[in-house]
Amino acid sequence: MPSNHINRINEDIRLCMDKLLREVKDPRIHQGLLSVTACEATGDLKYCKVYLSVLGLEDERSLKQGLKSASGWLRRELGQRLRLRNTPELTFVLDHSIEEGAHINSILASLDIKPEEGTDDDAD
């Protein structure tokens, strides 16, 4: 289980990456609504997985290529802004949990469930 120190660093990286990704000029990255859902840095801060959620993703392959080409700039900017001893190498992972949750909500909303008869909520 990560320590509180790593948890704080993960949250700082998440907030900083959220701002930095909006500054990237590569049009391959700006597909739909991009948000950083989580970050997981290793204990020695050598590596960090950045989980991204993209609502309205057009082309996953070009997004990954754009992130890979911008990763050096993102890492440098992250190191300058957070002033960590080691700036982690960034790995980007697409997180589809928001899309799956929206799909489940739409299925649940479309169900026609009638309340059970014979139950009386007012009775004690």
Strands (E) in the chain, as ranges, are 33-41, 47-55, 89-94
Determine the pLDDT at residue 122: 57
d(CA 2, CA 41): 9
Residue holding tokens 């900083």?
Answer: 16
Please report the pLDDT score of residue 1 as a whole number. Answer: 52
Q: Delineate the domains of the chain, giving CATH numbers in brackets.
A: 4-109 (3.30.300.20)
Residue range 80-119, pLDDT digits in tens: 998 888 889 999 998 887 778 888 888 888 887 777 776 6
pLDDT of 30 above 90: no
Tell me the pLDDT tens digit for each residue of 44-76: 889 999 999 887 777 888 888 999 999 999 999
Report the SS3 class of residue 86. Answer: coil
